Structure 1
């Protein structure tokens, strides 16, 4: 069974389901009857004479008017139907309406002319208070969160949110306040303000960390992709060492203040983010710390993936991750890169690659990693299940190095690389994926922490 058969009939037909009053059909029908064997109404000239929105209570008029006014430019039945659906999508994006329904009718009353329409949007607002429970999985960790939100605070789709979350596997917790605001003229532009406290336990490096931080972030889109421009200010404390933690980690104890500017750009050209057969994905993060505070460094990181349908349902993937950090002051362990684990270099323990002392990971200032993957649906099984469960084979390689003050030579990039291979099952679970793999480390260093055999990985992003 091919991919199209597996996906079934999932096309969006909502554009053809708009309620149209019978008077509008009386305008269209004579034009249709003039055609011989062909129904052609796309170019029928119609104009919108009046737009109405019914059901607004807490929401201000100006933010709604900004979304619906492009409809007045529509001049045909096709452009009106497409425009109405686009407006309906925008009103849903505001996340203040539970339902948005639309009715098209012929224009009536003073000034109404033949060929003019009246469009009415019937909306039902969501309750202002909302309680939520969520779970997220990242590259090296996940979290479970309980949140309380106040929506539409000032009537223009603002959100004030309180969140308490527990982080795994670092067994930390955080409390955070957030304020979200959309730009009424461009819903892709959003402002996020946060402040809060986070406590993390880093057992693989032997320390605990307290962070009291704030963030101001502006997100927007361009032809390159989705951008996030943010200012971060974090007061960090490293403490809580076990008795056998080496001096390289103990020397990091105490407080530090990091104030940084960060820019993230993300481009996603995959045909399906959950089950890609072709396309690519890339995310580039750049950070400069030193806008105040006692921590100064420049940092850049890239995560990328390329997908290609090799034959029928056999898909190949090439992933490439890399990062570099240039400290101006001595680098701190909580700013460095770490590598290894079920979502990065499989066959190694969490943070198990790179400089170690007494079994604890010290991190590094430069890394790279490459993954080669093959995916195929389960044999002799057809239908939607092939979208959620696949066979998986992989080869991963990479390196983390550059710990401490001092430079590094380019020859270090390609020497003493780690290498692992394996196979297993991949489960797509909507918000992320689960991998159950049998891993075989082929190349490692004496200080690395290996984890051969079965590994279970849960996350959103995998090497």
Structure 2
């Protein structure tokens, strides 16, 4: 006769044995289910391939799970695909391709969770209006929650900040959204930004945005604080080649205030209010295989802005244009098959600010410190302080009207970490030049031309260094040791370690 403890042990062993048996049966069932699903998927693919040229008629498209998305929005997306709205029949391959393209657009609205799926069925045989070639399309999706709240901290571009974000999705059932962000930091003392975004004609590549902003930012490199309040509207679209455009209008009230005790005469003279009324255009062609550590492809970007001229008014007027480009390619290493993880990237940026008359006047206005370019820092010309290059007035970096900067970066995997991680060593060289217009009171065109020509007069400011790069999904982190090689009189170099975080780096 077994003792009580032996009986308990026996009972426990039986329970464990039963649990293991049930777990094994569940595992086998899951494997069979996956196997059946894979075989069904394979049979479907074979069926589609075997019948790809079969003529079909799309009789209906039904979206399952769209409880808060309005019918008119979906009709604009899917109605053009229905066979009744076409002048020629589909083949099965064409029909699935068209519906797949519309389903991909549906994913890109960001109002549904990942995992949008599509399947095909024949209409009910009891439907007298159906024909043997009719098919019904079913799309299954799960809507995201309408409200998302997020708080956190950021560290980047030489400042730390805390932020809160509110995202309201699918406001009116047509993929509209409202995004409100509030932050406070060591340099940006306060910032509030609200954006209302909506697609045009149910197309994720055509969007209208209306935004408003209010911020107060310390500019320690120029001994002042800048306060901004403004609003604007922007329309963006993408072309068939994949390039992106946007045009917009903004009106912004700016104030230079809270001057430091050592503020220069230039900063003191420009203190106070100004109003900028401007239209802008942005063009982007991004063919890189990774936004932060690319090993192949190129980036081209231009930003153009006209402020204050003609009917725009305001009290500042200029044409401002900036371009950016980069090219990356992988470097093969003997003895390593496939991608070695070693890559070389070159980057180039340039910009020009051309003064214009305000309104319909005839006299061009000199540029203001609010609008001029700044150069130097851990995300562009490394080895220099923020605003460390270009014109200065005493302790203040007062910016320039013309600049050019370039970079060459060699990236390679960290030993024992591997090429499949987002961590890289880098060796880099940077160069840059920032200049103010020579004769601001004379012939503007002649002054701009002579200043541009001066960019090639002598060696630019140079730096070199080594560092670590980490490509986080939302930003690029760099810790570099920089050595200034060429420093012009008055410029502020930074020898030693620099830490940078951002999404746009010079190379």
Range of TM-score over shorter length: 0.7 to 0.9
Residues 1:55 and 1:410: Cα distance change in structure 2 (over 3 Å):
closer
Bigger Cα Rg: 2
- Seen in structure 2, the aligned counterparts of structure 1 residues 274 and 444 have a Cα distance that, compared at 3 Å, is closer
Matched, 1:326 2:354: yes
For 1:397 and 1:360, the matched residues in 2 are separated by 21
Question: Within 5 A, what are the aligned runs for 1:110-121?
Answer: 110-121=128-139
Q: Classify the secondary structure of the residue corresponding to 1:342.
A: coil
What's the TM-score once normalised by structure 2's chain length? 0.78
Partner of 1:377: 413
Check whether the contact 2:477–2:502 (CA below 8 A) recurs between aligned residues: yes
TM-aligned CA deviation for residue 367 of structure 1: 0.6
Matches of 1:229 and 1:354 in 2, distance apart?
30
Most deviating of 81-90 and 247-256? 81-90
2:61 alignment counterpart: 51
1:216 Cα offset (Å): 0.7
Distance in 1 separating the partners of 2:154 and 2:319 = 28
Q: Which residue does 2:327 correspond to in 1? A: 306
What is the distance in 2 between the residues matched to 1:413 and 1:77? 60
1:174 aligns with 2:202: no
Choose which of 315, 320, 324 in structure 1 pairs with 2:343.
315
Pair 400,235 (structure 1): closer, same or farther in 2 beyond 3 Å: same
Judge conservation of contact 2:63–2:139 (CA < 8 Å) in 1. Answer: yes
User: 1:69 maps to which residue?
Assistant: 79
1:238 aligns with 2:256: yes
The answer (yes or no) to whether the contact 1:363–1:403 under 8 Å persists in 2 is: no
For the 8 Å contact 1:67–1:185, the answer to whether it is kept is yes
1:104 aligns with 2:120: yes
**How far has the Cα of 1:64 moved from its partner?**
0.7
Kindly tell me the number of residue pairs found equivalent between the two proteins.
434
Q: 1:181 to 1:233 in 2, by over 3 A?
A: same
Equivalent position of 2:169 in the other structure: 151
Equivalent in 435, 450, 458 of residue 401 of structure 1: 435
Aligned counterparts, 1:342-381, within 5 A: 342-381=378-417
Q: Deviations over 1:303-350 (max 9, x none)?
A: 110112233433221111001101231211111100001111111111
Cα deviation for residue 454 of structure 1 reads 1.6
Whether contact under 8 Å (1:139, 1:460) holds in the other structure is no
* 1:10 equivalent in structure 2: none
Higher strand share: 1
Q: Determine which structure has greater relative contact order: mean sequence separation of CA pairs < 8 Å that are 6+ residues apart, divided by chain length.
A: 1
Q: Map Cα deviations across residues 360-388 of structure 1 (whole Å, 9 max, x no partner).
A: 21111111001111112224543522xx0
For residues 87-236 of structure 1, what are the structure 2 equivalents within 5 Å?
Answer: 87-98=102-113, 100-108=116-124, 109-133=127-151, 145-166=163-184, 170-222=187-239, 223=241, 225-236=243-254
Is the partner of 2:76 in helix, strand or coil? helix
Contact 1:20 1:103 in 2 (8 A): no
Give a deviation string over 1:187-212, Cα, whole Å, max 9, x none.
21111111231111111111101111
**How many angstroms apart in 1 are the aligned matches of 2:73 and 2:109?**
9
Aligned CA-pair RMSD:
2.9
- Paired with 2:95 and 2:155, the residues of 1 have a C-alpha distance of 41
Q: State the 1:134 CA deviation.
A: 6.8
Q: Give, in whole Å, the separation in 2 of the partners of 1:326 and 1:352.
A: 22
Q: What is the alpha-carbon distance in structure 1 between the residues aligned to residue 82 and residue 426 of structure 2?
A: 52
Give 2:474's aligned residue: 431
Q: TM-score, normalised on structure 1?
A: 0.86
Contact 1:359 1:447 in 2 (8 A): no
Question: Structure 2 vs 1, CA of residues 96 and 120 (structure 1 numbering), >3 Å: closer, same or farther?
Answer: same
Unmatched 5+ residue regions in structure 2? 1-34, 84-88, 334-339, 356-363, 442-446
Tell me what 2:490 maps to: 447
| Partner Cα distance (2:150, 2:329) in 1 | 38
Structure 1: runs of 5+ lacking an equivalent: 1-16, 33-38
